[in-house]
Amino acid sequence: MGGFRFPVPHYSETKGSFFAQHPELVCVDREGNPLPRISYAFPETRKYVLSLFREMASNYAIDGVALLYNRRPPLLAYEAPIVEGFQAEYGEDPRELDSLDERWLQYRSTFLTRFMRELRAMLDEVEREQGRSRLAVTAVVCRPGENILHGMDLKTWVREGLVDTLIPYSSSVRLNSFVPAWDDPKDVEHFVSLVKGTDCTLALNLIPRAMTSREYYDLAYRLYQSGVERFFFWDGLGRTGGAGRWRRAARIGHRSEVEEWFNRGKPSLLPAASRLWILDGWDLRIETPG
């Protein structure tokens, strides 16, 4: 959602882009300095992004759209529409408040919620025009405490039916380590409670990518017991190192198999194999030079 301008060394790939053509639509900090982000506070930005999604939905047989909100936030900062709207409602300048002021964070989030409502309305319109079933909206979001900081009011999105599938990217800051995310039960409960009793589906992203089959099964079992029913794999192609390992890890969506494995004392998940000694008359036990 923030992919209007790439950082160095890829900036040249976005020259001439919407970002380059519209410097008046960029995010600004509280001092008014421009940030390398396009702001969704402006109707022009939302209209442009909606046009891209309309093109996809109208011309291709897609089932829905996925919004990667975990990519390059913030999408809102201290732009004029937000600052002036806050001043009109509260009589205070948000640039003079603590950046974590709850009123400010909540007010700023209304602009991304406005975009989500506009997106839902546009998709509903395409459905009616083409006689199609519901085009789903999937949102990949951030850690529990980060979403509102980046303008994402997930509670409102879920309550209003603006998102069909919610995918929290991770709960850990140790994304490049071998420590699995979701090791804090409170983070899991936060998202499980958020969608409970609603039509929104929750799918937790499993990180890090390089886990063993046993680590995948252990994590899946723990999350199942916490009320999670679905999982998501960011960068799926980066998880296939070792076909045997991935073949087993890819089964974690079968809850009964994961629970049976746990109840059997967590036996080895390594695939059964037989060593090949003789092939076409060649005895592989005999080592020869060359």
**Tens digit of pLDDT for each residue in 213-266?**
888 999 999 999 999 999 999 887 777 666 566 777 888 999 999 999 999 999
Q: What is the average per-residue pLDDT within 77-97?
A: 98
pLDDT attached to residue 284: 85
Q: Which of these three, 89, 118, 135, is where a domain ends?
A: 135
Q: How far apart are CA 183 and CA 143, in angstroms?
A: 13
Q: How far apart are CA 99 and CA 166, in angstroms?
A: 26
User: What mean pLDDT, rounded, does the chain reach?
Assistant: 90
Q: What is the average per-residue pLDDT within 36-42?
A: 95
Residue 140 domain-assigned (yes or no): no
**Statement to judge: residues 127 and 186 lie in one domain:** no
Residue 83 domain-assigned (yes or no): yes
**Tens digit of pLDDT for each residue in 56-81?**
999 999 999 999 999 888 899 999 99
How many domains, the chain? 2
**Statement to judge: residues 112 and 186 lie in one domain:** no
> Residue 14's CB: how many other CB atoms inside 10 A?
16
- What percentage of the chain reaches a pLDDT higher than 70? 91
Higher-confidence position of 279 and 28: 28
Q: How far apart are CA 70 and CA 73, in angstroms?
A: 7
Q: How far apart are CA 241 and CA 251, in angstroms?
A: 16
C-alpha distance from residue 283 to each of 105, 286, 290 (Å): 71, 6, 16
- Using the 8-state DSSP alphabet, how is residue 237 labeled? G
Q: Which of these three, 135, 159, 180, is where a domain ends?
A: 135
Sheet strands side by side (includes 230-232): 64-68, 136-141, 165-168, 201-205, 230-232
Q: How far apart are CA 50 and CA 119, in angstroms?
A: 6
pLDDT attached to residue 12: 66
Q: How far apart are the first and last CA of the chain?
A: 56
**Statement to judge: residues 123 and 177 lie in one domain:** no
pLDDT of 272 higher than 80: no
SS (H, E, C) 65-132: EEEECCCCCCCCCCCHHHHHHHHHHHCCCHHHCCCCCHHHHHHHHHHHHHHHHHHHHHHHHHHHHHCC
**Statement to judge: residues 103 and 205 lie in one domain:** no
Range of the domain at 18: 1-135
Residue 10 domain-assigned (yes or no): yes
**Tens digit of pLDDT for each residue in 122-181?**
999 999 999 999 999 999 999 988 999 999 999 999 999 999 999 999 876 665 555 668
- What percentage of the chain reaches a pLDDT higher than 90? 67
pLDDT of 275 higher than 90: no
Is residue 244 classed as helix, strand or coil in its secondary structure? helix
